[in-house]
Amino acid sequence: MKPNEQQEAEFRAFAVAQRDSLRRYAFLLCGDWYEADDIVQKALTKLFSAWNRVDPGGAGAYVRKIVTNVFLSHRRLAWVRRERASADLPDHAFSHPQEAVEVRLEVLAALNQLPSRQRATLILRYWEQLSVDETATAMGCSTGTVKSQTSKALRKLKELLAHSSVPVQA
């Protein structure tokens, strides 16, 4: 196999293995599956253009950083803000067999009300389970910024969820 073909095959295998995880991560950041697909597609395109310079061992962290940056820049685009889906639920009730579904929906709705950087910080810290240093690297900011954004985001989430069915710790 030629070097370019081998790199393309390695990238394809990496992308296939990581796509679902990246899509879930992007969804948690933006709250919309279609936007998450767009973000992941753009991130994988950017990763492919740099694939020959990427260390395979660090490719996962690197692509998460790209997804985070694409999400943050995506939020700055005016058309994304104009075409946001409504936060209102449909008029008819849904029957949910799982007990935790309502709680998840409330938490996701509250996450969607946070500013982009605060939401990204919470997702990286608590969903992706990155350390403060790893989160700072992924977001391209200082550890102090990660700590302050996390604190502000958690405080805001507690306010948003205070009168919901979600158990909030003091």
pLDDT digits (tens, 9 = 90+) for 22-42: 999 999 888 889 999 999 999
Residue 113 lies in a domain: yes
End residue of a domain, out of 84, 105, 131: 84
Residue 162 has pLDDT above 70, yes or no: yes
Instruction: Check whether residue 22 and residue 48 sit in a common domain.
Output: yes
pLDDT in tens, 45-58: 999 999 988 887 88
For the chain, the domain total comes to 2
Q: Hunting for tokens 């310079």 — which residue is that? A: 53
Torsion angles phi and psi, residue 98, rounded to 5: -90, 135
CB atoms within 10 A of CB 95: 4
Residue 116 has pLDDT above 70, yes or no: yes
Rounded to whole angstroms, how far apart are CA atoms 69 and 140?
Answer: 9
Q: Which residues contact 77 (CB under 8 A, 6 or more apart)?
A: none
End residue of a domain, out of 62, 84, 106: 84
> The domain spanning residue 20 has which CATH number?
1.10.1740.10
Mean pLDDT within 100-120: 83
The better pLDDT of the pair 91, 59 is held by 59
Model's pTM, two decimal places? 0.56
Instruction: Check whether residue 43 and residue 115 sit in a common domain.
Output: no
Instruction: Check whether residue 63 and residue 121 sit in a common domain.
Output: no
Q: Which residues contact 154 (CB under 8 A, 6 or more apart)?
A: 122
Q: Hunting for tokens 């939020």 — which residue is that? A: 75
Q: What residues make up the domain containing 161?
A: 97-170
Count of residues for the chain? 170
CB of 61 within 8 A of CB of 137?
yes
Rounded to whole angstroms, how far apart are CA atoms 40 and 64?
Answer: 10
Instruction: Check whether residue 78 and residue 123 sit in a common domain.
Output: no
15-29, 48-62, 69-83, 134-148: least confident range: 69-83
> The domain spanning residue 106 has which CATH number?
1.10.10.10
Rounded to whole angstroms, how far apart are CA atoms 12 and 51?
Answer: 11
53-62, 140-149, 159-168: least confident range: 159-168
Confidence of residue 151 (pLDDT cuts 50, 70, 90): very high
Residue 92 lies in a domain: no
